[in-house]
Amino acid sequence: MRALVQRVSEAAVRVDGTVTGEIEQGLLILICAMKGDTEADADRLSSKISKMRIFTDENGKMNKSVLDIGGSALVVSQFTLAADTRSGNRPGFSTACGADEGNAFYEYFAKSMADTGVPVAKGIFGADMKVSLINDGPVTIWIDTDQWK
């Protein structure tokens, strides 16, 4: 799985002008299921993200996790994280899971993230979503579970 994690002061996702998910302080997690991913990958990723110490402590050091600060997560499906830009000008997405499997992994990851104790809001898989955020820091971290194999 691939995730782009952003520390945010607030974030929201809208579909057709209607808010489908929003959070205050916490993490915006853009997530993409890749061919060959497993539920174990999703579980390990959610555990890693929930414990990642990227929030500042009283000394201004990144020493606290989203759990430590009582923050939330907004999880948004983002198949374009699978973009292959090695040739030509049009990215390829053949390494991303197909829609049905991708949706299943998206829902599984969101539940796995919630199971860590982090409140989770979501977008709508496959919808034309408008995401707004205030990136805090900015802090943006790329995670690819293939790097752990």
Task: State the catalytic residues.
Answer: 78-80
DSSP lists the bridge partners of residue 13 as 21, 131
Token pair belonging to 96: 């991303």
- Rounded CA gap, 114 and 120, in Å? 6
Q: Residue holding tokens 């799985």?
A: 1
Evaluate the CA torsion angle 8, 109, 81, 12 in order and state its sign. Answer: negative
